[in-house]
Amino acid sequence: MQEFEKYYENCVVDIQRLVRIDSAQAPALPGMPFGKGAADSLSLFLDIAAKMGFETKNYDNYIGEVIFGEGEEFAILSHLDVVPAGSGWTHGAFSGEIANGKLYGRGTSDDKGPAVICLHCMKMLKDEGFQPHKKIKLIVGCNEESGWECIAHYNKVAHMPAMGFSPDADFPVIRAEKGILQLRLHFPLKNAPFAALNAGERANMVCDFARAEGAVFEKAEAQLCGLEIDGDSLCARGRAAHASTPEEGDNALRKLLAFFARSHAEIANIHSLLFEDALGLTELHDDTGRLTLSPDMATYEGNELIVTVDIRYPSTHSHEEVLRAFRHAGIVYEITHHQLPLYNSADSPLVAALRRVYEEETGESGEPIAIGGGTYARALTCGAGFGPQFPGEPSTIHQKDEYISLENVRKLLRIYRAAIRELTR
């Protein structure tokens, strides 16, 4: 028990150290393709691992890995980049503050916390004298939230294992992930009731702030609709959430467009297409769920409203079905990002092993599930998502006041240690 407490305490400190670095993607610098914050996070993580006695590799500040053991390769895929902080935090977004049994900060749950926990699990196993019969590669990318260029680079300069898991999802175990399709939609908009419009920060983050400048509006009507007035500008505030679960957020762009749609037919049509499923896309469904569409970024310029949408389509469907609907409606689009779905059967060896570990460590039954989120697991021939989100617990991923509870740090240290041991012995 005393030994476990040492690992737990060191783990908490290392999570705090990583969280204090803002590693949201920033403009590239020489030798830092995703900005200084991402490079600093990777450097610190690999330095912590090296001081534990592990072999480490930094692949040009795109991505890095920690190696333990020899033999057939096994991957643990995690990431150190984060989405922007957003607004409304009551604890510092990059403070690593501990309060009420929770460690707060962007990345505590997604995905710096789980990455650090898995590293400390490897250290525990190493100190116990465990000799894995596989070469464990704890791979940590710096561009998961903004395009996966890190994975593309890794595939060029290193060798990706065929099997593994990603601690960047939900328990008990993720057997399938929907396809991810991000599109930039172009809507002609003449005589707009505003001179400029800007909304959202990331394509995979529900828009929590939207602003229309040089707007034409009735003050009383705008206030009645809950909008903020700033001179000749109208602002809408919402609540951020992960784009894979848009229902958990409150889209500020929806509020702003809904207001202008009351008196502008073109905007009413755009609002209907984006927020009222006028294309009938949610009819696409399978055992991984229904299609979701989240309009997360928008700009207005040159008589054109440009909206970036994040679409999660069911695993057994094709992205071409989605694109066909937009083409049929005459909507001009560009594909900005696409990831094919992940699909495993519930009784596959990897999924079955992870389920068994979860049930043994928690005492709870664990039916494999499917999600709309996209994890690095789909970068593997045979991959699965495995935690850190426990069933029934609130998720703060991509939201204000993101946190990981200290109780869950303890639980995750035990679960991931058991999983690594089970899958590599």
Q: Which CATH class is domain 2-177+343-424?
A: alpha beta
Quickly state the pLDDT bin for 306 (edges 50, 70, 90).
very high
Place of tokens 């991402």: 38
Which residues on neighbouring strands pair with residue 298, listed in sequence order?
199, 307
Please answer whether residues 159 and 73 qualify as being in contact, where contact means their C-beta atoms are separated by less than 8 angstroms: yes
81 is catalytic: yes
| Separation of alpha carbons 57 and 65, rounded Å | 5
Express each pLDDT in 10-66 by its tens digit: 999 999 999 999 999 999 999 999 999 999 999 999 999 999 999 999 999 999 999
Return the domain boundaries, the chain.
2-177+343-424, 179-339
Closest CA to 346 of 174, 206, 216: 174
Tell me how crowded residue 133 is: count the other CB atoms within 10 A of its CB.
11
| Separation of alpha carbons 384 and 76, rounded Å | 10
With a cut of 80, say whether residue 1 has pLDDT above it. no
Express each pLDDT in 81-109 by its tens digit: 999 998 899 999 999 999 999 999 999 99
Closest CA to 422 of 354, 347, 351, 349: 354
Q: Residue by residue, what is the 3-state secondary structure of the chain?
A: CHHHHHHHHHHHHHHHHHHCCCCECCCCECCECCCHHHHHHHHHHHHHHHHCCCEEEEECCCEEEEEECCCEEEEEEEECCECCCCCCCCCCCCCCCEECCEEECCCCCCCHHHHHHHHHHHHHHHHCCCCCCEEEEEEEECCHHHCCHHHHHHHHHCCCCCEEEECCEECCCEEEECEEEEEEEEEECCCCCCCEEEECCCCCECCCEEEEECCCCCHHHHHHCCCEEECCEEEEECECCECCCHHHCECHHHHHHHHHHCCCHHHHHHHHHHHCCCCCHHHCEECCEECEEEEEEEEEECCEEEEEEEEEECCCCCHHHHHHHHHHCCCEEEEEEEECCEECCCCCHHHHHHHHHHHHHHCCCCCCEEECCCCHHHHCCEEEECCEECCCCCCCCCCCCCEEEHHHHHHHHHHHHHHHHHHHC
156 or 375, higher pLDDT: 156
Express each pLDDT in 313-366 by its tens digit: 999 899 999 999 999 999 999 999 998 899 888 899 999 999 999 999 999 999
Looking at domain 179-339, which of 3.90.260.10, 3.30.365.10, 3.40.30.10, 3.30.70.360 is its CATH number? 3.30.70.360
Cα 402 to Cα 94, 104, 194, 205, 392: the distances in Å are 10, 6, 34, 14, 16
Q: Which of 14, 144, 168, 170 is catalytic?
A: 144
Express each pLDDT in 104-137 by its tens digit: 999 999 999 999 999 999 999 999 999 999 999 9
Express each pLDDT in 237-283 by its tens digit: 999 998 999 999 999 999 999 999 999 999 999 999 999 999 999 99
What crossing angle do the helices spanning 36-51 and 2-19 adopt, rounded to 10°?
160
Q: Which of 22, 81, 111, 168 is catalytic?
A: 81
